[in-house]
């Protein structure tokens, strides 16, 4: 019986050892499972964070692209509006300029008088509409008119505003076919953009004499005469010297 008792005791002891081993294995398994769960949760959280970051970046990029498109559209709209307002003001300037219409040509009534005494009594050299005024900015350039441009039909007469001597009658860059008359006392009148020239240098002319015909030899947008009055080389406002009729 003692031997049987010992044998049973040994068996029980072995079973207890195995049970303890199983308990430890179970605890290790549970710990490993918990660790795996934590790792999965951490990875899932990191993945979620990365996905949110990606979505935020994607949203930012999309917003930036939309902002760029809106900016381009705004700039385009601003340019269009600026162009429209510039065209409107150019049109208003042209309309304002076209209020001056000349219907009378120079005649012999001013002949024989000193040029400086004729201020306010002269007439424009051609029938037409004043579309470019003295000191007004020329469309499409940074320069200003040093005289006036008179829109007129091609072939119309261009006449001398007063008596004097022709000192230039030829083509000149920027002026086309040009006539310059010396009226004495250092006063000169210039007639540019002519189609034809009817006078030669050193010809003596009187008020109303035909100098040429209206054209577009100076490269303007329309047919007409470019007209200046100068004292020496200084341009004077022709509209201060003429009586519009």
pLDDT at residue 107, as a whole number:
93
Query: Per-residue pLDDT for 140 more than 60?
Result: yes
Measured from the Cβ of residue 100, the count of other Cβ atoms closer than 10 Å reads: 17
Which tens digits make up the pLDDT trace of 206-235? 999 999 999 999 888 889 999 999 999 999
Measured from the Cβ of residue 113, the count of other Cβ atoms closer than 10 Å reads: 13
Going by pLDDT thresholds of 50, 70 and 90, the confidence category of residue 81 is low
Query: Per-residue pLDDT for 28 more than 60?
Result: yes
Query: Per-residue pLDDT for 97 more than 60?
Result: no
pLDDT at residue 173, as a whole number:
93
pTM: 0.60
Report the alpha-carbon angle 232-130-98, nearest 5.
155
For residue 219, the number of C-alpha atoms closer than 13 Å in the C-beta half-sphere is 6
Both tokens assigned to 165: 């001597």
Q: Is 103 helix (H, G, I), strand (E, B) or coil?
A: coil
CA distances from 62 to 17, 50, 51, 53, 73 (A): 66, 18, 16, 14, 16
Going by pLDDT thresholds of 50, 70 and 90, the confidence category of residue 10 is confident
Which tens digits make up the pLDDT trace of 148-199? 999 999 999 999 999 999 999 999 998 999 999 999 999 999 999 999 999 9
Query: Per-residue pLDDT for 94 more than 60?
Result: no
Measured from the Cβ of residue 140, the count of other Cβ atoms closer than 10 Å reads: 8
Whole-number mean pLDDT of the chain? 86
Sign of the torsion formed by the C-alpha atoms of 92, 156, 141 and 78: positive
Segment holding 112, helix H or strand E: none
CA distance linking residue 6 with residue 150, whole number of Å: 139
């Amino acid at each position: 019986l003692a031997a049987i008792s010992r044998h049973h005791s040994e068996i029980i002891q072995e079973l207890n050892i195995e049970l303890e081993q199983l308990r430890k294995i179970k605890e290790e398994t549970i710990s490993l499972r918990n660790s795996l769960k934590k790792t999965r949760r951490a990875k899932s959280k990191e993945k979620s964070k990365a996905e949110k970051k990606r979505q935020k970046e994607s949203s930012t990029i999309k917003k930036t692209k939309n902002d760029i498109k809106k900016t381009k559209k705004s700039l385009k709209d601003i340019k269009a509006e600026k162009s429209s307002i510039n065209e409107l003001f150019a049109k208003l300037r042209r309309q304002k300029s076209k209020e001056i219409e000349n219907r009378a040509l120079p005649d012999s009534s001013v002949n024989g008088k000193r040029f400086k005494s004729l201020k306010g009594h002269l007439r424009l050299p051609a029938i037409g509409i004043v579309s470019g005024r003295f000191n007004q900015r020329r469309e499409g350039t940074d320069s200003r008119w040093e005289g006036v441009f008179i829109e007129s039909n091609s072939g119309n007469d261009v006449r001398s505003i007063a008596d004097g001597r022709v000192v230039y009658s030829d083509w000149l860059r920027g002026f086309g076919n040009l006539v310059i008359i010396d009226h004495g006392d250092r006063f000169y009148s210039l007639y540019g953009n002519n189609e034809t020239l009817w006078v030669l240098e050193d010809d003596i002319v009187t008020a109303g004499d035909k100098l040429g015909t209206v054209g577009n030899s100076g490269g303007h947008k329309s047919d007409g005469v470019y007209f200046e009055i100068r004292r020496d080389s200084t341009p004077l406002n022709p509209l201060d010297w003429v009586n519009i009729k």
